[in-house]
Amino acid sequence: MASEADQNQPTKKPTLADNHGEEDEDFISRLPDTILHMILSKLEMRDAAVTTAVSKRWASVFTTLPSLKIDGNSFNPRVLAYPDHWEPYVEDADKWMESLFSVLDSRKTPIEKFEIDVGIFAKCDGYFHVVFRELCGAGVKELLILNNAFDHIYDLPSPVFSCNTIVNLELLYCSIEVPSKLTGLRSVKSLKLRHVTVADIDLRRMISRCNAMEKLVITDCNKVENIVIRGPSLLELVINFCRPVGISLKSVPRLAFVEVSLIYDYNLWFEYYASFEERFAAREDSDEDFFTYCSNDNSFRDTGKTFEGTNEATNLMAFLNRIRSVTDLRLNFSNEYRAMLSKEGIALPTRLSPKCYLVELKKLQLSWPSNYHTFNTLVDASSDDKYRHFALELDFWDKQLPAECVKHHMTTATFYYGYISEDCFGFPKFLLLNARNLKNMNIFYTGKLKDKPETADKIKHEVLAVQQASPDVEMTIKPLISRFQYSDDDGDLS
């Protein structure tokens, strides 16, 4: 029996150390593995590895991290300066690879997500073949191979093509040659190809194989001339190119989001494909314009022809005629693209086929040069490449676009204006008059950081002078500071 003195003593509060019998272990180490995984995943690889010295518990958790994100800094000495590099570079490739193998060999559980961003893939391709063979064999689900040495293209290893556990695959500056017997990629739901080198037939086979794919992103892929897409599960499609390319949609019944950017610009293309510098060195200091270059070089084919028997105008209409189910459409066309269309000598039709009306469209974002009636009509080019613009009739949009396309479904419209002219608000007015479910209209225009307030007032007066079909529409009118952001200081009329 406890003495009366003992009973009068205050009760000692239990501690986590008392509960678990490990008085020398800190509170953080007692957190569940899922929480510790989350903490370590936020750290750089080198810093996460250092935490193994905290306790035996942390050392064990590090070897079971479900995801690894590795770059040049991961196994470099801690103090390194990179004044001439966009990305951290690998100082000693042999030691770096030894460290990578050491980390992978210490694993106690398979890696679910593996992201690697370095520039030594081509130099150490044999070692990386082993790495990706082990990862794919162990059931990796997300694989991001980001080669930042764009002048040394890396051949995608064969184990990737035979892996059926990958659901997210992203490749940067890789070369893709699909094997004759393709057994993997059945589970891929998200495929991102950025600046890869791939022939049309290999790209077509790869896309068709990913029949579970819901998201596809293709950005400036070399050797590609015609993109053919069959995607029974595809929901989201993003295509960005700075040179002519054909886009052919064969079977995309579920496609809901489409973003296409065709920025036909030689300087931009040259920058992304710097590996061809020797080939174009003779032209580097010349005054040859984009269209002459297209005509003289097979990489761009003949002045806008994307592949045999078609041209830019035909290709654009064929593409628009196959996206009937799209609810969110974003088109970004450069001035060079518009000029190339005009050089085709074939006028765009004034409307889509009735069977191809975008009846499900709820959001439309257009970035088109010059005044916006060029969205539906081409401007003529004279011999000296100066463009003549034609005034629109008051009922132009009523004649050319059936109101049923936008009357019941569209909720958001966004416009980007390079400059403000008298006749550039015809299409916004048309939408305000006819779109009964329109909730938001955004108008961004080129302006200085300290834009004149009267500019936004003038736009507001011009656009809101029409009777609105939707009483709830909110308008935002702001000047663009640059191509990628807008000013929050003035011009907001929402």
Predicted local distance difference test score (pLDDT) of residue 464 = 78
Predicted local distance difference test score (pLDDT) of residue 250 = 92
The two beta strands, 387-388 and 380-381, are antiparallel
Q: What is the mean pLDDT of residues 124-140?
A: 96
Q: What is the mean pLDDT of residues 77-88?
A: 56
Q: What is the mean pLDDT of residues 181-197?
A: 96
Confidence of residue 15 (pLDDT cuts 50, 70, 90): very low
Flag the least confident range among 84-98, 209-223, 245-259: 84-98
Confidence of residue 129 (pLDDT cuts 50, 70, 90): very high
pLDDT of 324 > 80? The answer is yes
The two beta strands, 174-176 and 197-198, are parallel
Backbone φ and ψ for 382, nearest 5 degrees, come out as -80, 180
Confidence of residue 350 (pLDDT cuts 50, 70, 90): low
Predicted local distance difference test score (pLDDT) of residue 487 = 45
Which residues have a Cβ under 8 Å from the Cβ of 314 and sit 6 or more positions away? 346
Q: What is the mean pLDDT of residues 88-95?
A: 84
| Cα–Cα–Cα angle for 248, 253, 257, rounded to 5 degrees | 75
**Using one digit for the tens of pLDDT, what is the confidence trace for 103-117?**
999 889 999 999 999
pLDDT of 471 > 70? The answer is yes
Q: What is the mean pLDDT of residues 150-161?
A: 93
Confidence of residue 343 (pLDDT cuts 50, 70, 90): low
Percent of the chain with pLDDT over 90: 32
Predicted local distance difference test score (pLDDT) of residue 332 = 86
pLDDT of 238 > 70? The answer is yes
Q: How many CA atoms lie within 13 A of 313 on its CB side?
A: 17
Residues 392-426 as b/e (b if ≥16 CB within 10 A, e otherwise) read beeebbeebbebebbbebbbbbbbbbbebeeebbb
Confidence of residue 345 (pLDDT cuts 50, 70, 90): low
Specify which residues 367 forms β-bridges with. Answer: 332, 416
Most confident of 311-325, 332-346, 351-365: 311-325
| Better pLDDT: 434 or 56 | 434
Q: What is the mean pLDDT of residues 55-59?
A: 69
Predicted local distance difference test score (pLDDT) of residue 395 = 58
Q: What is the mean pLDDT of residues 117-123?
A: 92
Predicted local distance difference test score (pLDDT) of residue 181 = 92
Q: What is the mean pLDDT of residues 220-237?
A: 95
Confidence of residue 259 (pLDDT cuts 50, 70, 90): very high
pLDDT of 130 > 90? The answer is yes
Q: What is the mean pLDDT of residues 187-210?
A: 97
**Using one digit for the tens of pLDDT, what is the confidence trace for 413-423?**
888 776 666 56
Average pLDDT, the chain: 75
pLDDT of 200 > 90? The answer is yes
Q: Which among 469, 465, 459 is positioned nearest to 417, based on CA atoms?
A: 459
Is there a contact between 474 and 445 (Cβ–Cβ < 8 Å)? no
pLDDT of 131 > 80? The answer is yes
Predicted local distance difference test score (pLDDT) of residue 208 = 95
Tokens, residue 354: 């009735």
Backbone φ and ψ for 253, nearest 5 degrees, come out as -65, -25
Is there a contact between 340 and 316 (Cβ–Cβ < 8 Å)? no
pLDDT of 390 > 50? The answer is no
The two beta strands, 113-118 and 142-147, are parallel
pLDDT of 119 > 60? The answer is yes
Measured from the Cβ of residue 479, the count of other Cβ atoms closer than 10 Å reads 22
Confidence of residue 216 (pLDDT cuts 50, 70, 90): very high
User: Long-range pairs for 445-448 at CB < 8 Å and ≥24 separation?
Assistant: 445/416, 445/417, 445/418, 445/419, 445/420, 445/477, 445/478, 445/479, 445/480, 446/417, 446/418, 446/419, 446/479, 446/480, 447/479, 447/480, 447/481, 447/487, 447/491, 448/479
Most confident of 319-333, 345-359, 381-395: 319-333
pLDDT of 153 > 80? The answer is yes
Confidence of residue 401 (pLDDT cuts 50, 70, 90): low
What is the rounded CA–CA span in Å between residue 410 and residue 402? 14
Q: What is the mean pLDDT of residues 45-54?
A: 67
Tokens, residue 264: 């036909």
Percent of the chain with pLDDT over 70: 63
Predicted local distance difference test score (pLDDT) of residue 318 = 86
Predicted local distance difference test score (pLDDT) of residue 233 = 96
Q: What is the mean pLDDT of residues 18-43?
A: 66
pLDDT of 171 > 90? The answer is yes
